[in-house]
């Protein structure tokens, strides 16, 4: 499949056929992930393939009870990983400093870029995928289940499999218009009427015309931004990043 076609056609798939992914294809998915750009070619991430049934159930539960995840033949968690390099430094006799927020930021970027490579590779093989952002939630349970050290935290989770025919035929949701997303030279703060215009324009292309702009935006705001899961995600993220946020003695000076 051409790269542009894969990018354009790819959409989240949440229903999978009951069949495994060929091992050779799976290896190519991992290879695709590892070909992704990486800060200093460090590959500041690790990939955890979750096969154990109890761990899969726990992840489905902690990710807002999304039990459909269990039907996916492949579940992988991309973790931002500063433990591996610190251990490598120590193995060579170095004394690495404690990783900071900048290190965490780079590692999270590395992990998510690699995950997107895997997603597009999956699309090219006719496989469906879905990002599970809720992996950031439930810090204590996920950290324990996956045995994550302090220098390692989840960036994202992917579920991959052969999508059902219904999922393949389902129309991909329209994105916002380019002019709402792309700025020139500087960030442009928009007037309320501009936000409404682009919100309504996208809704029209999704064949869901806006009847009551304030009410529909408010409903989305409550369902996403003000939701219980969103607040838990922020709490959990703070817990993961606490290990990176402490000032070192050198920084204090």
136 and 168 Cβ atoms separated by less than 8 Å: no
Q: How far apart are CA 142 and CA 148, in angstroms?
A: 8
Which own/partner pairs from 49-52 qualify as long-range (CB within 8 Å, at least 24 positions apart)? 49/74, 49/75, 49/76, 50/75, 50/76, 50/77, 50/146
- Across the range 78-107, mean pLDDT stands at 97
Q: pLDDT category, 191, cuts 50, 70, 90?
A: very high
Q: Mean pLDDT, to the nearest integer, of 6-17? A: 95
More confident residue, 251 or 118: 118
Reported as a pLDDT band with limits 50, 70 and 90, residue 1 is low
For the chain, which residues make up each domain, given as ranges? 3-171
Sheet of strand 74-81, all strands in order from the earlier edge strand to the far edge = 45-49, 74-81, 152-161, 128-132
pLDDT surpassing 70 at residue 89: yes
Q: Span 115-121, mean pLDDT? A: 98
Give the fold, CATH level 3, of 3-171: NADH Oxidase (3.40.109)
The pLDDT > 90 percentage for the chain reads 96
Q: Is the pLDDT of residue 248 over 70?
A: no
DSSP letter for 75, please: E
Q: In which band, very low, low, confident or very high, does the pLDDT at 252 lie, cut at 50, 70 and 90? A: low
Residue 233 has pLDDT above 70, yes or no: yes
Q: How far apart, in whole angstroms, are the C-alpha atoms of residue 128 and residue 139?
A: 27
| pLDDT for the residue 35 | 98
Would you place residue 246 in the very low, low, confident or very high pLDDT band (cuts 50, 70, 90)?
Answer: confident
C-alpha span between 173 and 104 (Å, rounded): 32
Beta strands in the chain (DSSP E): 45-49, 74-81, 128-132, 152-161
Does position 208 have pLDDT exceeding 70, yes or no? Answer: yes
The mean per-residue pLDDT over the stretch 239-247 comes to 90
pLDDT above 70 as % of the chain? 97
Residue 251 has pLDDT above 70, yes or no: no
pLDDT grade for 253, boundaries at 50, 70 and 90: low
- Read off the pLDDT of residues 28-45 as tens digits, 9 standing for 90 and up: 999 999 999 999 999 999
pLDDT tens figures, 122-155: 999 999 999 999 999 999 999 999 999 999 999 9
Q: What is the mean pLDDT of residues 168-194?
A: 97
Taking residues 54-74, report their average pLDDT. 97
What pLDDT sits at residue 178?
97
Q: Whole-number mean pLDDT of the chain? A: 95
């Amino acid at each position: 499949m051409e790269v542009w076609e894969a990018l354009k056609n790819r959409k989240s798939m949440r229903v999978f056929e009951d069949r495994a992914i060929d091992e050779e294809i799976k290896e190519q998915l991992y290879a695709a992930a590892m070909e992704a750009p990486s800060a200093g070619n460090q590959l500041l991430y690790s990939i955890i393939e979750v096969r154990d049934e109890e761990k899969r159930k726990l992840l489905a539960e902690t990710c807002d009870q999304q039990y459909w995840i269990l039907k996916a033949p492949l579940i992988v968690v991309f973790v931002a990983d500063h433990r591996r390099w610190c251990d490598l430094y120590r193995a060579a006799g170095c004394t690495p400093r404690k990783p900071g927020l900048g290190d965490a930021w780079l590692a999270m970027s590395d992990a998510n870029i690699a995950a997107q490579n895997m997603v597009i590779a999956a699309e090219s093989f006719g496989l469906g995928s879905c990002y599970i952002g809720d992996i950031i939630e439930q810090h204590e349970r996920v950290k324990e289940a996956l045995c994550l050290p302090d220098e390692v935290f989840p960036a994202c989770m992917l579920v991959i499999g052969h999508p059902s025919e219904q999922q393949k035929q389902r129309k991909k949701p329209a994105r916002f218009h380019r002019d709402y997303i792309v700025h020139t030279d500087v960030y442009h703060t928009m007037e309320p009427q501009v936000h409404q215009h682009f919100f309504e324009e996208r809704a029209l292309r999704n064949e869901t015309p806006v009847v009551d702009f304030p009410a529909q935006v408010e409903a989305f705001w409550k369902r996403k931004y003000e939701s219980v899961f969103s607040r838990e995600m922020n709490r959990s993220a703070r817990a993961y990043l606490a290990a990176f946020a402490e000032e070192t003695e050198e920084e204090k000076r």
